[in-house]
Amino acid sequence: MNNSHIRLNVITKEWVIFSPSRRQRPQDFQQDPSLHIEPPCYDPHCPFCNFSEVSSEVVILEIANPQKTGWQTRVVPNKYPALTPDSKTTRQLDGIYLSMPGYGCHEVIVESPKHHLDIATMPLQEVEIVIETYHQRYYDLMVAHQNMMAIIFRNHGHKAGASLQHPHSQIIVTGMVPQHIRYAEQEAQRYYDTWSKCLYCEILAQEKRERVRMVAESNLFFAFIPFAADVPFEIWIMPKVHQADFGSISDAEKVDFASILRRVLRQLKTKLNNPDYNYVINTAARYKAEEPQVHWYCQIRPRLTTPAGFEIGSGISINPSLPESDAEYLRS
């Protein structure tokens, strides 16, 4: 399929234009190796390499390494938080304008004491500890009634917004739920009310059946490029068993998720020369956690293209790469 065509994202109801004529081959998305210089194991100027200088009172959570000789992951408050917990969620009306204080939490999850590692290059045991850290902080933060949503995300590389090279993720908790998440929930609710089925489970079933967009598979998870992917090599990792809330995953699922996440990121690193990327764990907003129509998943978006005037003006993405070709390239 080399002609331009348009696909509908059944979750967001947004159209995506696919224009294969705008690119040559999947290899054309490979990043220039000279842009990625291998970092040292230790950087004397990196704050996460020098945690001995940080007061122990600042460390929110610490998990030991597999050898029990020191820390493997640490969670600390973000030095430049987008939101802070020392305010309220009370709305304020000024004429027609509505606002509220900047309530929330913003934490940094330092994934390793070693400066040069990332999820793709860590030993599997260490990735499992990263996922365990995600789960513990997510669970603890969502206990508070006013915390309506928690987003766990990772920015890898300058184009993805990473300001520090040391391996780290972040978690932000808000006192409100943004409209684009509510819209996706509402669409899933409408689908469930019509067909008595989870839309995400239906997507997963079709991807498992067709397998043309499959990237990787494990016992408990399935990784694929969405039918209407917004960007080249966008990947979703989804639990095979219906599960609305990331906080509900079992110990076995955490281990399996760590394995397939590492595998997929290694595929991107190897095939595309370590591209910049963002990944986000999309999970149910508060009070939706046990509902049958919501399904959590991890969304990985490499930073390989830049939106231009048409995308900004129309809100329609133009993807120069076909999901089926991208998946085949990553599998090969």
pLDDT at 295: 94
**150 token code pair:** 């928690």
Q: Could you give the 3-state DSSP secondary structure of residue 150? A: strand
pLDDT in tens, 55-80: 556 899 999 998 999 999 999 999 89
What is the rounded CA–CA span in Å between residue 260 and residue 126? 14
pLDDT at 145: 81
User: How distant, in Å, are the alpha carbons of 100, 233, 274, 312, 316 from that of 238?
Assistant: 34, 16, 23, 29, 25
Average pLDDT, the chain: 91
DSSP label of 103:
B
Q: How far is CA 34 from the centre of its chain?
A: 26
pLDDT at 44: 87
**Residue that wins the pLDDT comparison between 24 and 305:** 305
Mean pLDDT within 270-281: 95
DSSP label of 84:
B
Torsion angles phi and psi, residue 137, rounded to 5? -70, -40
Q: E strands of the chain, at which residues?
A: 5-8, 15-18, 61-64, 71-77, 92-94, 97-99, 104-110, 149-156, 168-174, 214-217, 221-224, 235-239, 277-282, 297-302, 317-319
Most confident listed range (8-22, 40-54, 146-160, 211-225):
211-225
Whole-structure pTM value = 0.93
What is the rounded CA–CA span in Å between residue 153 and residue 299? 9
CATH assignment of the domain containing 38 = 3.30.428.10
Its domain, for residue 251, covers: 5-331
DSSP 175-186: SS--HHHHHHHH
Q: How far is CA 32 from the centre of its chain?
A: 24
Please determine, for residue 26, whether its predicted confidence score (pLDDT) is greater than 70: no
**32 token code pair:** 């220039």
pLDDT at 2: 67
DSSP label of 139:
H
Q: How far is CA 122 from the centre of its chain?
A: 18
pLDDT at 38: 77
Q: Total domain count for the chain?
A: 1
User: How distant, in Å, are the alpha carbons of 171, 185, 227 from that of 179?
Assistant: 19, 10, 23
pLDDT in tens, 80-114: 999 999 888 889 999 999 999 999 999 999 999 99
- Contact call for residues 142 and 150 (beta carbons, < 8 A): yes
- Other C-beta atoms within 10 Å of 133: how many? 23
